[in-house]
Structure 1
Amino acid sequence: MISSLLFAMFVILMAIGVPVGVALGGAGTVAIALANPDTHWFGLMAVSQSFYAGLAKYPLLAIPMFVLVGSIFDRSGVAARLVRLAQSITGNGPGMLAVVAITVAMFLGGISGSGPACAAAVGAIMIGAMNRAGYPRAYSASVVAAGAATDILIPPSIAMIVYSILVPQASVPALFAAGMVPGILAGIGLIIPAVWLARRHNMGAEARKEPRPPFWRSLYQAVWGLSAPVIILGGMRMGYFTPTEAAVVAVFYGLFIGIFVHRTMSWRDLFPILREAGELSAVIMLIVTLAGIFAWSLSTLSIIDPLTNAIVHSGLGPYGVLTLLILLLIVAGMFLDGISIFLIFVPLIQPVAMAFHWDLVWLGVVLTLMVAVGQFTPPVAVNLMVSCKIAQVPMESTVRWVVWMVGGMMGSLVLVVLFPQLALWLPHYLGY
């Protein structure tokens, strides 16, 4: 009875517009209090302890740092120089600006790990350029939003850090390594329909009139940005710093580039950057801690074990169950952000995965791929919100283009599901 009330209250709170974190924490608190009618105050004390325990975790320190990195590189001029380098390689043929947008977004994923931050950085440069070249605004917004979704797959990834908090058996370095190849596959899965659509609808005719940037000059200007993922990921691999420390190194490296190298930032810019990153980080951390109360209530009320047994003995088998989970997360991704999806569903999915002997690192990559799809799938798509605001188009106008991008990334998901070694061979090779 109380377990049904827990989920019913959560759904009702979400339906009336209560923020996800408050809905999770509120439903969990009420359920815990009702489960101990004679000791309400003791239950509420446990809630406060669970709140603190959900926040006091060392890997969570990386989240505000990587959020700050995204804001810094957004203003440092790195994205603009990477765009010119990519254009010098691809040229200005049909669909090539779409390839540039997706490729640069993938590369920025190796710096910030935040999809909305990448959508803002790439969109501010590429959407205007694509519009001038004759690409429809809705198409440009769709390409940028989809390309930015690869950021949570290509390390470093804020979503994977959250997953490692929920699933301690999957370490952050192993998840980062496992996301590399699927992230590249997802990018290729987006490039194929983007180029096909551009050529089919004869987009980008004006781009052919633009001169091709010189390669060596563009490479020289982009070398500081190209070095960022090498320093961040290489330093972690060599053991010079942990993922959390790598986020701090990335912050100072970005400040050095923006203030002293490119000189696109000043010390006065630091306050709005810190304020923006602080606000976003506070929202993420609050959702994480309130979701910890919800997860603790699931454990306290003994809901997970009966639910796991029912799923495992449903007769669907591992692939049938996995298919249902993917369909469920597709629907959830249309309405919830990625971190909320992890916090709600991972405590329920992990026991099922252990019962079927699924690799938890591989499962993290599969779930992250689903979250990536949700970041540009209407009606609630954080990346698409950002790119549509920059392009000044309504989100519904992007559906005819987004559906092809979703299909491309789903193809990458199918490959990772059918061939788990696509995700696991690199962490195994690196010894994680």
Structure 2
Amino acid sequence: MVTDVQALISLCDDELVSRGYVAVLYGRIKAEWEKLISWMKIHNFTDFSESVGFQYCDETLGTHISNERLNHDEKIRLRAIRMLTSYQKDGDFEFRTPRIERLFLGNTGSNMHLYLSYLRNVQHFSESTIRNKEQYLYEFFCYLEKHSLTLENLSVEIMEDFFRTLDYSLASRHNCGSTLRIYFRYAHDHGITEKDNSVFILKDNYKHHCKIPTTYEEDEIRRIISSVERSSATGKRDYLILLLAAEYGWRSSDIVNFRFSQIDWDKNVIRFNQHKTDIPVEYPLLSSVGNAIIDYLKHGRPLTDSEEIIVSAESAKKGRPLSTPTVHSIVTKYMKKAHIKNWKSKKHDPHSLRHSLATNMLKKNISMPIISTVLGHQNTESTKIYLKVDTEKLRQCPLSIPAMYSKHYKVGR
């Protein structure tokens, strides 16, 4: 870990240049770092650490997390310092400045914190998964603290009151319930609780709830792909990512794990086992995709020994495989750039492009078994959800209502 503040700033400076920060913002951030150096000299700090950075923010801003009271200049100062703390810890800038600080205190909080460490170090869960579970655990921890409860006091009534208090959507309740159910089993198996509290979480029938996928029209998909500036190395990479999501309907996990060994150039096919389901799939190597791969390999991909085809171009992670949240951000970026109508109010991730592929195939009268094969579903039951989106065909399904002859119903009533 780099503790010398000048060396750390030099590394972060290189990262700013690599990411192409505009001159005005770049200068503002550099100025904030100089103020930090002066403050450290006054307080006789020789080494920089997260605690030193947070102390500086607390003294000069009154906080080290984001809040609505901060003006624009103060937000830049906070962002500049948190760039240093996150880069020092993880080798990268944090995605955004957090608005809350989750502190798991006391015996209950300590056990939850240890559980998250177990998921990270033993189960090797991704950081995005751990952050998701941390959010639900923290909300439950705060509920316990507010009501002076422990894990030994739980009941069905208490759990239902917790869900009611948070006013979760059906999806959020399902995810939170799943997170807590698994944690309760862990707590019981590791002797933290005498009883298995998972029995107090009622089933929510989430999977039986009618869900309609978010989709985009073919013209919107073309506009998204066309909005990429393909002259740059990053543009060539992003263009390939969008093609894989839109033309093949690949999930983010399959895009970031796309490897050279999966391409058979002689037979013009791509074969692999899906990351999520481990189901083997095979796709024709479309000319658009093949040309995009070749263009990226020749003119956009950094030198690296990585087996994965698509890698990061940022200096801190150059040549390393992308994460799935990065793919999500890339799709969102070009939906915004293409001025897609109402994209913010709809799902705007790679999965929405997958949904769009299936729905647009259905509109062209392509059979369900073929769509299932393209998406890599085990059976057509998983694919039938897209029938709900094809409104034109649904209009052909209703039967006409026969005339009714009954003393209980009269015309005009």
**TM, length-normalised to structure 2:** 0.28
**TM, length-normalised to structure 1:** 0.27
| Structure (1 or 2) with the larger CA radius of gyration | 2
Q: Whose helix fraction is larger, Structure 1's or Structure 2's? A: 1
State the structure with bigger RCO (CA 8 A, min sep 6), 1 or 2.
1
